[in-house]
Each structure stands twice: as structure tokens, then as C-alpha cells.
């Protein structure tokens, strides 16, 4: 297994530029670097075409609604949780992904601007995710969506929140048709082999993961073992929504996704696991990084779309 040459070139360019590690510095410094890396180089005119964008607020929680173009009837509703290690990122910064999902899935996307650590540590983000789900389920008709076709999607920390919210949805009796988990972190108590194997020089590092854990969980072992933080530790995963799990071979979190997919399958949950050997974290939210990454995103999105329209989805309860 070798690193994709396009990604190898990307990493080499970062090293040559002397770019600081993604999670170095204060939370404010990290957030500004992420903003600059994305916003200073994006072209909103190149975003996938959509039918409309609206900002709403549910109590303290901001949501970005992205509706598909050409809608003629109810469409799937997808809650999207952005990446950023629970400490940075926003719905605004990840607008391109929300546009892409709305376009490719023909879905109304609800991008959740959950509270960030360390100012708002666990379980604040989980509470926001569950609040967004309850709101979407209640007002799905007003969104032009279909209450029988709600999906959950996220990358990295956002995939963690999607997985946790899928469990909460099952427990609350809220139907969810499918979940898309790209590069998920699923167990804060474990140190899988991929963390050691891919922990240096591949964009996301072991040191970054330690910063994330401190910021989100305040280095609290009890919080780390809480299934709302580590969904792989849930006592029972039976009955959660079918899943599509995508992981990168050169990601320190690769084994997190593989182990969680195995746990879902063991619980009888229909689950598709896709391993992309030459890719890094976070491939899903970096379009154009490499043709192999674009192909992986297209495959995962298509499989997720199939869950949202699959025969029998209207009967899930």
C-alpha cells in the first residue's frame, strides 16, 4: 500500500511551506488557520448549484439549510456535521460540502453549527446534534423533506456526532434511513494500530489526537468511556440506521472506522465499509485533492443516496 502521489505532493508542499500542525497553538489560532486555509482559497461560484440557502436558529443553535435545485416534491433531509476535531470549523466554512451533498443527494441539507470545545466541552456538541435532529424531525414537512427519509452525515468529529445521533434517534424512536460516516472517531479509550502506524507526517497526527481529546473531553477518562463520546462502546447498536463507513488507509483513525463498522455488522445493522488505501484524513471534505479522493467521495455519496431511497425505507420506524 502506497500513498497516493497527488496526496504525497500535497503533504510535501505543506512541509516545504513550513505550515504549522493543524492543532498547534491556541484554539483561536487554530480556527483562524482553518478559516484562512478554506475561505481565502475558495470560490463560492464553483460550489455545486442548489435551490436556496437559509440560515435559521433553533434556540442558541445556528443551522444552515441548503435546498436542492429543481425540487418537485418531498426530498430526503440530511443532517450534516462538519469536521474540525470538535474545536474548530463551522457550517459556514464547510458550505461547499453542504452544497455538494444537497446537489448530489437531491436532499435538503441541514448543516449543524454545533458548539465547539474547549469553551463548550462534551457533551455540548452531542446535545446540539440531538437538538438539530429533533427539530428536523418535527419540521421536516416545512423543509420540503420526507420524514421517512432522514439521513445523518459527517466527517471525522462530525462523523462521531452522526454516529452518536443515530443511536439517540433509535432510542427516541425517530426514524433515520441511513448514516454516512467518513473517517469517524469512534472510541476515545482505544489506541488502535493505525494511530501508531499513521501518526506522524500524514496531516492528522497522534499529537493532534491528544489535543482533540483534551479539548473535547478535558482528559476525563469517564467522559471518554461514555458511549455518547465513544459510540463503539455502546452496549447495544441493534436497530440503528444502516451505515456507509469510509476510511483512509493513511489515516490514524482508519481502525476507528473499521472497528465501528464491525460492531455495527455484529449488531445486525446493514453496513458498507469502504477502505481507500492511498488516502489521508480528511479526504471527504477536500474536493480536488486527488482524483482517487474524488472517486471515493462519489462512491460513498452514491451508496448513502441508495439508503435514502431504498425500497422499504418508507417503512422504517
Return the number of other C-beta atoms located less than 10 Å from residue 143's C-beta. Answer: 21
Q: How far apart are CA 57 and CA 148, in angstroms?
A: 24
40 is catalytic: no
Query: What domains sit in the chain, N to C, each tagged with a CATH number?
Result: 5-310 (3.40.50.1820)
What's the confidence (pLDDT) of residue 267? 99
pLDDT at position 310 is: 44
List the catalytic residue out of 113, 146, 208, 251. 251
Q: Which of 4, 111, 128, 156 is catalytic?
A: 156
What pLDDT, on a 0 to 100 scale, did the predictor assign at position 313?
42
For residue 220, indicate whether it is catalytic.
Answer: no
User: Known catalytic residue: 281?
Assistant: yes
pLDDT score for 43: 84
pLDDT along the chain (317 residues), means of 10: 92 84 87 87 87 96 95 91 97 96 97 98 98 95 86 99 99 98 98 96 94 93 96 98 98 98 99 98 88 97 91 42
Query: Considering the entire predicted model, what is its pTM?
Result: 0.95
Amino acid at each position: 500500500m502506497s500513498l497516493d502521489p497527488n496526496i504525497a505532493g500535497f503533504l510535501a508542499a505543506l512541509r516545504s511551506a513550513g505550515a504549522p500542525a493543524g492543532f498547534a497553538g491556541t484554539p483561536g489560532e487554530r480556527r483562524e488557520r482553518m478559516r484562512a486555509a478554506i475561505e481565502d482559497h475558495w470560490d463560492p461560484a464553483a460550489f455545486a448549484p442548489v435551490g436556496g440557502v437559509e440560515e435559521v436558529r433553533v434556540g442558541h443553535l445556528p443551522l444552515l439549510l441548503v435546498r436542492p435545485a429543481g425540487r418537485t416534491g418531498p426530498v430526503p433531509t440530511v443532517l450534516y456535521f462538519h469536521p474540525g476535531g470538535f474545536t474548530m470549523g463551522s457550517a459556514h466554512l464547510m458550505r461547499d460540502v453542504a452544497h455538494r451533498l444537497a446537489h448530489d443527494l437531491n436532499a435538503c441539507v441541514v448543516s449543524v453549527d454545533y458548539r465547539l470545545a474547549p469553551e463548550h466541552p462534551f457533551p455540548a456538541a452531542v446535545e446540539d446534534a440531538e437538538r438539530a435532529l429533533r427539530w428536523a424531525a418535527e419540521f421536516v414537512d416545512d423543509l420540503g423533506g420526507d420524514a421517512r427519509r432522514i439521513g445523518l452525515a459527517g466527517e471525522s468529529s462530525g462523523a462521531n456526532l452522526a454516529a452518536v445521533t443515530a443511536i439517540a434517534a433509535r432510542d427516541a424512536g425517530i426514524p433515520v434511513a441511513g448514516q454516512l460516516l467518513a473517517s469517524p472517531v469512534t472510541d476515545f479509550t482505544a489506541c488502535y494500530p493505525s494511530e501508531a502506524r499513521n501518526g506522524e507526517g500524514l496531516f492528522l497526527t497522534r499529537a493532534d489526537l491528544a489535543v482533540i481529546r483534551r479539548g473535547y473531553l478535558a482528559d476525563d477518562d469517564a467522559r471518554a468511556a461514555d458511549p455518547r463520546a465513544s459510540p463503539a462502546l455502546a452496549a447495544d447498536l441493534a436497530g440503528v440506521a444502516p451505515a456507509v463507513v469510509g476510511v483512509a488507509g493513511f489515516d490514524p483513525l482508519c481502525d476507528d472506522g473499521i472497528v465501528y463498522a464491525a460492531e455495527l455488522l455484529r449488531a445486525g445493522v446493514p453496513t458498507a465499509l469502504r477502505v481507500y488505501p492511498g488516502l489521508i484524513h480528511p479526504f471527504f471534505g477536500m474536493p480536488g485533492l486527488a482524483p482517487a479522493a474524488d472517486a471515493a467521495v462519489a462512491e460513498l455519496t452514491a451508496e448513502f443516496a441508495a439508503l435514502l431511497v431504498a425500497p422499504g425505507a418508507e417503512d422504517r420506524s
